[in-house]
Structure 1
Amino acid sequence: MTNKARERLTHREKMVERRDKMLIHDRANERATVEEVFDQTTRMVVFDLLNSGILYEVNGAVSSGKEAKVYWATTKEGTDLAVKIYLTSSAEFKKGMLKYIEGDPRFKNIKRDTRSLMALWAQKEFRNLREASEAKVPVPKPIAVKSNVVVMEFIGKAGTPAPSLKEQPPKNPQRTYSLLITYIKRLYKKAKIVHGDLSEYNIMIWKGKPLIFDLSQSVSVEHPMAQFMLNRDIVNLNRFFSRLNVNVTPTEELHKLVVGK
């Protein structure tokens, strides 16, 4: 065997080993759920991301929900990334997600099988993150999307996510509220989207300022439910900040201010 052929074989063996052991850093109690998240197709998607150099290591899960798990990963240079994997086994989630896709002019010719829907949902989050970022709204920077996997900036340090508003109320609630209203306006006016599920649970405090995450359900302002969802976002923010003694703008007035009517 030539040296070149031996090098190719060694490289291939190492990549296979990385694929099979990429969860070696899993935190306690994570291995019981590995098969649920990493079905064979998803394993190959993550392997492709490793092989392409987008990811170098995939570590333990940092958050877990009915529809997705988020893993802490790193690049070869040591940069932290978040890998969000939508569960293809989430039949209950599939039933509810269609209302956020149908009616959004950005997405047409929708395939309704579970894997196609999850891939579309991942594409939707990636696009929403990109459009929000371009509108100067603080969100995790989108890095890559493939099938049901979204790679984005990790908000936090060394695998520990930044706290949400629910976990750690802001030191200056009035300023935080004002910034969030500015971000909602930018989402609507510049990105042309509505978050749709904004609350203290999906706003982080990072470097002293609020940062919005979980944009998978966000819809175009042209979506039939856009105004209802915008109103719900405002109600949620006003409810939370009222408890912190912030002088909030009345919901109807704020709604008009955002949409410019």
Structure 2
Amino acid sequence: MAREYIQKKFDREIEKSGVRIKDADQLKVMENVFDDQTLLALYKLVHKKRISLIGGSISTGKEANVFSGEDENGKPIAIKIYRIQSANFKAMGDYLAGDPRFSSVRKSKKEVIFAWTKKEYSNLTRAHDAGINCPETIYFDRNILLMEFCGEGDVPYPQLRQVKLSKEEAAEIYAAIIRDMKTLFNDANLVHADLSEFNILFDGEKHIIIDMGQAVTPDHPRAIKFLVRDIKNINRYFSRLCDIRDEEEIFKEIVGEHRMMP
């Protein structure tokens, strides 16, 4: 299909379904950034009435753009769109390789991106079901993930690094994050693999763990290395805010006394 034809179909479907574009320039931004595969996925989501409003940009990351939106009932949602053309294909493949859930994924860029989207959906669902405070998943298709919007009104909650905390608040959040790492490993059967102050939000009372596309199961060949990196990242950040624990002690609490930290 020609891109122009796909775009016209998408525009007509939006108009027919009553889907609103909150920012008049927003669709133009999406036209300029996203390719035919993304437009097709958006078209399907509109057709299935999963989206009733497409809002402004929440964030632009290395691999994906996140937009605000609303579902068919007017409930706020986040629309995460992985960029097929510019995402780091090799880095994603490194995280997928060794994950038994995705061992059958072939090496084409499109298939890796689609698998990555499914992987984040799966990881967030497992984490949420284990009691982790993270965005609740709604739906995914191709390279688009719909999930709970974490924010107030149109404004997303800030990243942890943007929040000023007292020593007491920092100590409480630090301890809670360590508990979450243990829950992820033992109950959700996951290692976040990119946990830092950039991938944790704060709603004013509690933290919210986000961005779990790269999370791996403990049997992944690099899972322990990733876990150690997560521990070091959290200790590095909180070391200037509150008292921190020994990294080896945290590691053993998470994986068990029988394991030595590499």
Bin of the TM-score, shorter chain as denominator length: 0.7 to 0.9
Q: Distance in 1 between matches of 2:10 and 2:133?
A: 41
Secondary structure (helix, strand or coil) at the match of 2:100 reads coil
> What residue number does 1:80 align with?
76
Structure 1 counterpart of 2:171, one-letter code: Q
Residues 22 and 55 of structure 2 are in contact (CA less than 8 Å); yes or no, is this contact kept in structure 1? yes
Structure 1 residues without counterparts, runs of 5 or longer:
1-11
CA RMSD in angstroms, aligned pairs only = 2.3
**How many pairs are equivalent?**
247
Report the alpha carbon displacement of residue 118 of structure 1 after superposing the two structures with TM. Answer: 0.6
Q: Which SS does the other structure have where 1:58 is aligned?
A: strand
Aligned to 2:98: 103
SS at match of 2:140: strand
Residue 83 of structure 1: how far off its partner (Å):
0.6
1:148 aligns with 2:125: no
Normalising by structure 1, we get a TM-score of: 0.88
Residue 240 of structure 1 is matched in structure 2 by 237
Q: Is the 8 A contact 2:19 2:51 kept in 1?
A: no
Q: Which moved more, 1:212-221 or 1:36-45?
A: 36-45
2:22 alignment partner, one of 16, 20, 25: 25
For residues 1-261 of structure 1, what are the structure 2 equivalents within 5 Å? 16-18=13-15, 24-26=21-23, 33-90=29-86, 93-171=88-166, 172-244=169-241, 246-261=242-257
Preserved CA contact (<8 Å) 1:142 1:151? yes
Q: Secondary structure at the match of 2:162?
A: coil
Q: Which runs of 5+ in 2 are unaligned?
A: 1-8, 258-262
SS for the counterpart of 1:200 is: coil
Q: CA deviation at 1:109?
A: 1.2
Alignment match, 1:3: none
Question: Is 35-44 or 54-63 further displaced after alignment?
Answer: 35-44
Distance in 2 of aligned mates of 1:200 and 1:131: 22
Deviation at 1:96, TM superposition (A): 1.2
Shift of 1:51: 1.9
1:162 corresponds to which letter in structure 2? Y
Deviations 1:182-222 (A, max 9, x none): 11000000011000010001101125001100001000110
Equivalent residues of 1:82, 1:154 under 8 A apart: yes
Distance 1:192 1:94 in 2: 25
Structure 2: how far apart are the matches of 1:45 and 1:248?
Answer: 45
TM-score (structure 2 length as normaliser): 0.87
The answer (yes or no) to whether the contact 1:37–1:69 under 8 Å persists in 2 is: no
CA distance in structure 2 between the partners assigned to 1:251 and 1:100 by the alignment:
24
Report the Cα distance in structure 2 between the residues aligned to 1:99 and 1:89, rounded to whole angstroms.
18
